[in-house]
Amino acid sequence: MASLLQVDNLTIRFPRAEPVRNLSFEIAEGETLAIVGESGSGKSLTALALMQLLPRAAQIPNGRIVFGGRDLARLGQREMRHLRGREIAMIFQEPMTSLNPVMTIGRQIAEVLKVHEKLSGRAARDRAIELLKLVRIPAPEKRVDDYPHQLSGGMRQRVMIAIAVACKPKLLIADEPTTALDVTIQAQVLDLLDTLRRELQMAVVLITHDLGVVAQWADKVVVMYAGRKVEQALPDDLFNDPLHPYTRGLLAASPRLKHDFHYRDGALTEIPGSIVSATGETGCPFRPRCNQARSSCGHNVPQLIVPAADRLVACPFTTSIKAVPHAAALSH
């Protein structure tokens, strides 16, 4: 599969912090890449950087975001506007606040079509109905004239998706698309996203904190901690054999993985402490919370190594055997 988006050494800098540091990843056409992390991991800022929607105070001092031969990190506002919505689209966590409350959903969809496809009037409306049908909203001819508050949370997220895919983008960035939704609705929305991905042949960057979602919907997983990539793997590998102490801790701390484990049987395993800013830290950002930490972890930020095919991990003390430097990995 051809590479669609390549992020290379991306750093996001604020006046007093660097919430994302030297992040690299790659997405092939039509692929779903999950970026997992907790709040403070920098995953949402990464998503905003791809869209050039970072807050004003943020800068990208180094790194490239290559999409269709262009570096998005250095692209002008005008060209970026041209790309947004048409080639790269985004959906957000909170479907209530990301829709305009005083406009019918039909008009909001038509708006995108007007901007990018020069459609208007009847044609835009018909296409809007078509899109509502595409995202499986029942009775789209009626719903098209509804206002956002008349829809349920799940329906609103479907509308957001309809707007996002209106121009058949090549890349869809979904930032916690189901976090605000109930589990039964979450399953529906994720199903829909996956179906659309196949039908429209778009790649999806799925940003989430939910390991279960990752396991079932991603082709490839990047685990972020305190602004850095700490592990990358195929979902099966990640869940069967997590390598980074953080990933291991997360999987162990999560009650859902122990289906026959009850509080009367014992305590959950904890990761102590909470996420620590990468600013001013030398060495491994996870060191203060790590149960494997040694004195050498304080010296340098661990390099990404390739412990096995299709895997990267930023810890030299994983139990795995083979450790190839990252540079060698890039060449294969």
Partner 1 sequence: MSTIDSGNFRGGLAAQRPFAVEHEAPATSAAGDGAAWSNMKAPDARSQQSAAVAVTNGRRALKVFLSNPNALFGTGFLAFVILIALAAPLLYPDDPLSMVGRPFLWPGQNASFPLGTDSLGRDVLAGILHGSRISLFVGLMATALGLTFGVLVGSTAGYFGGWIDDILVRLIEIFQTLPSFVLLVVLVAIAQPSAATVTLAIAVISWPTVARLTRAEFRAIREKDFVVAARSLGYGHARIIFREILPNALPPIIVTSSVMVATAILMESALSFMGLGDPNVVSWGSMIGTGRELVRTAWYLTALPGLAIVFTVLALNLIGDGLNDALNPRFSQDR
Partner 2 sequence: MPLLSVTDLKIHYRSRDGLLRAVDGIDLVVERGETVGLVGESGCGKSTLGKTVLRLVDPTAGRIEFKGEDITVLDQRSLRGVRKSIQMIFQDPFASLNPRQTIGEILEAPLIVHRVGDRTGRRQIVADIVAKVGLPAESVSRYPHEFSGGQRQRIGIARALLLNPELIVCDEPVSALDLSIQAQILNLLVEMKKEFGLSYLFISHDLSVVRYFADRVMVMYLGRIVESADNATLWSDPRHPYTRALMEAVPDPARPRQAAPLGGDLPSPSDIPSGCRFHTRCPLATDRCRTQEPEFRQIAPGHQVACHFADHIN
- From the CB of 57, what's the least distance to partner 1, in Å? 6
Q: Which does 217 bind (CB under 5 to 8 A by kind): partner 1, partner 2, none?
A: partner 2
Q: Which of 2, 102, 183, 267 binds partner 1 (CB under 8 A)?
A: 267
**Residues ≥6 apart with Cβ < 8 Å to 211:** 36, 239, 250, 251, 254
Give yes or no for residue 213 binding partner 2 (CB under 8 A): yes
Strand arrangement, sheet containing 64-67: 17-28, 3-14, 64-67, 70-71
Q: Which does 183 bind (CB under 5 to 8 A by kind): partner 1, partner 2, none?
A: partner 2
Give yes or no for residue 68 binding partner 2 (CB under 8 A): no
User: Residue 304 and residue 297: Cα distance in Å, rounded?
Assistant: 14
User: Residue 202 and residue 196: Cα distance in Å, rounded?
Assistant: 8
Q: Which of 294, 299, 310, 326 binds partner 1 (CB under 8 A)?
A: 294
Q: Which DSSP string corresponds to 109-132?
A: HHHHHHHHH---HHHHHHHHHHHH
Give yes or no for residue 183 binding partner 2 (CB under 8 A): yes
Q: Which of 16, 78, 259, 264 binds partner 1 (CB under 8 A)?
A: 16
- From the CB of 212, what's the least distance to partner 2, in Å? 3
Phi, psi at residue 223, to the nearest 5°? -100, 125
E-strand spans in the chain?
3-14, 17-28, 32-36, 64-67, 70-71, 88-91, 171-175, 203-208, 220-225, 228-233, 305-306, 312-313, 324-325
Residues in the chain, how many? 332
Give yes or no for residue 228 binding partner 1 (CB under 8 A): no
Of 17 and 185, which CB lies nearer to partner 1 in the complex structure?
A: 17
Q: Which does 239 bind (CB under 5 to 8 A by kind): partner 2, partner 1, none?
A: partner 2
- At position 206, the amino acid (one-letter code) is L
3-state helix, strand, coil in the chain (%, to 5): 35, 20, 40
Applying CB under 8 A, the span of 34-42, 106-114, 135-143, 181-189 interacting with partner 1 comes to 34-42
SS3 per-residue string spanning 253-313: HCHHHCCCCCHHHCCCCCCCCCCCCCCCCCCCCCHHHCCCCCHHHHCCCCCCEECCCCCEE
Applying CB under 8 A, the span of 106-114, 158-166, 229-237, 292-300 interacting with partner 1 comes to 292-300
Dihedral sign of CA atoms 235, 276, 52, 188 in order: positive
Residues 233-292 that bind partner 2 (CB under 8 A): 235, 239, 249-251, 253-259, 261-263, 267-272, 274-275, 289
Q: Which does 66 bind (CB under 5 to 8 A by kind): partner 1, partner 2, none?
A: none
Give yes or no for residue 329 binding partner 1 (CB under 8 A): no
Q: Which does 57 bind (CB under 5 to 8 A by kind): partner 1, partner 2, none?
A: partner 1
What track of x and - describes contact with partner 1 for positions 230 through 259 (by CB under 8 A)?
-------------------x--xx------
Chain positions contacting partner 2, by CB under 8 A: 38-39, 152-155, 182-188, 190-191, 209-217, 235, 239, 249-251, 253-259, 261-263, 267-272, 274-275, 289
